[in-house]
């Protein structure tokens, strides 16, 4: 059973988090043993908390965060078109393209996805409170994930409980659709 906050969080993103496309992010590692899916849920839930606290548009902040790393590949693997370094600068553009391809994001959601790596993406800077929240939440989570702060935390247990809920809901929906 989810906490009250996680239930409210789910109400903003359920079409995204229950989709096959977003679930694909569970196949790729982000930092350490944390998948891209777990990372985007952590960033999205952190954005939910900050957006509520700072009277921002919670729906935009949370949905943009769920889509911010929708690049759908393993960034550690070097290919002819991509290295981990070029990934750092180019993946917001890929996430925007995939968000448009698979969902119907608003212009504001797309803008916050595009600027989430700022200041590295110098010419794509945050232009709204929600965009600023995403750049902060992403850096906060990435830092905690990269330096082991997130590993055995109560926060991770909370994020994992949402991940388990999503997987169980998907499984029961698949059974019903058979
Ligand atoms: Fe990113
Ligand atoms: Fe990220």
* CA 138 to ligand 2 center in whole angstroms: 5
* CA 13 to ligand 1 center in whole angstroms: 18
- 62 close to 86: Cβ distance less than 8 angstroms: no
Q: What is the pLDDT of residues 156-169, one digit of tens each?
A: 999 999 999 999 99
Q: For residue 120, which ligand has an atom nearest its CA?
A: 1
CB-neighbour burial class of residue 114 (10 A; exposed 0-12, middle 13-18, buried 19+): buried
Q: Which residue has the tokens 């930092």?
A: 31
pLDDT band at 120 (very low <50, low <70, confident <90, very high): confident
Dihedral angle sign, alpha carbons of residues 96, 102, 107, 113: negative
* CA 7 to ligand 2 center in whole angstroms: 22
Please give the pLDDT value at position 161.
96
* CA 92 to ligand 1 center in whole angstroms: 6
* CA 92 to ligand 2 center in whole angstroms: 9
* CA 152 to ligand 2 center in whole angstroms: 20
Q: Tally the domains of the chain.
A: 1
DSSP conformation letters of 21-80: HHHGGGGSEEETTEEHHHHHHHHHHHHHHHHHHTT--HHHHHHHHHHTTTT-S-TTS--S
Please give the pLDDT value at position 177.
73
* CA 178 to ligand 2 center in whole angstroms: 35
Q: What is the pLDDT of residues 51-104, one digit of tens each?
A: 999 999 999 999 999 999 999 999 999 999 899 999 999 999 999 999 999 999
The enclosing domain of 35 has a CATH number of: 1.10.3210
- 14 close to 66: Cβ distance less than 8 angstroms: no
Domain range for 116 is 4-176
* CA 91 to ligand 2 center in whole angstroms: 10
């Amino acid at each position: 059973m989810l906490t009250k906050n996680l239930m409210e969080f789910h109400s903003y993103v359920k079409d995204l988090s229950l989709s096959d496309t977003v679930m694909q992010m569970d196949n790729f590692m982000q930092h350490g043993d944390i998948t891209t899916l777990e990372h985007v849920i952590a960033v999205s839930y952190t954005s939910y908390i900050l957006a509520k606290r700072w009277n921002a548009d919670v729906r935009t902040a949370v949905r943009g965060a769920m889509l911010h790393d929708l690049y759908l590949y393993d960034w550690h693997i070097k290919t002819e078109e991509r290295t981990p370094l070029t990934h750092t600068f180019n993946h917001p553009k890929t996430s925007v393209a995939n968000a448009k391809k698979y969902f119907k994001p608003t212009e504001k959601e797309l803008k916050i996805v595009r600027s989430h790596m700022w200041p590295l993406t110098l010419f794509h800077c945050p232009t709204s409170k929600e965009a600023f929240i995403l750049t902060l939440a992403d850096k906060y989570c990435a830092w905690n994930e990269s330096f082991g702060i997130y590993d055995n935390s109560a926060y991770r247990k909370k994020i994992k409980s949402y991940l388990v809920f999503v997987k169980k809901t998907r499984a029961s929906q698949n059974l019903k659709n058979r």
